[in-house]
Amino acid sequence: MANIKKWTSASLGITIEIDHDKCTGEGECVRVCPTSVYKIVNGKSVVENIDNCIQCCACVVACPTQAIKHSSCG
Ligand code: SF4
C-alpha cells in the first residue's frame, strides 16, 4: 500500500500529496519550488509552507519518481 502524505491549504483550496514510498529525498522539489514550500525531513520531502504555493506545477514536473500530486497540476 502506498504511503501517501497529504497537505491541504484551506485558504488556497489546494491539496498536495507525496507518496513517501516513491520519494527518494533527492530534493528536486525543494530546489525548483520558487516559494520554498518543501523541505526534506528524515530523507523524505514534506510540505512546510503550502500557503506559499503559487500553483506553478514545477515540483510535479521535476520529481524524478512522480511522487508528487498537486490538485492544480493535472
Ligand atoms: S506548484 Fe510550484 S509553488 Fe506550488 S509547491 Fe509546487 S513548485 Fe512550489
pLDDT digits (tens, 9 = 90+) for 8-56: 999 999 999 999 999 999 999 999 999 999 999 999 999 999 999 999 9
In this structure, the number of other CB atoms found within 10 A of the CB of residue 18 comes to: 24
Determine which residue's CA is closest to atom 8 belonging to ligand 1: 33
Give the predicted TM-score (pTM) of the model: 0.96
Q: Which domain holds residue 35?
A: 4-70
- Of ligand 1's atoms, which has the minimum distance to the CA of residue 38? 5
User: Can you tell me which residue has the cell 530546489?
Assistant: 31
Determine which residue's CA is closest to atom 4 belonging to ligand 1: 53
Determine which residue's CA is closest to atom 3 belonging to ligand 1: 53
How far apart, in whole angstroms, are the C-alpha atoms of residue 17 and residue 39?
A: 14
How far apart, in whole angstroms, are the C-alpha atoms of residue 57 and residue 73?
A: 6
Number of domains forming the structure of the chain? 1
CATH of the domain at 18: 3.30.70.20
Query: N- to C-terminal Cα distance for the chain?
Result: 23
pLDDT digits (tens, 9 = 90+) for 16-28: 999 999 999 999 9
- Of ligand 1's atoms, which has the minimum distance to the CA of residue 60? 6
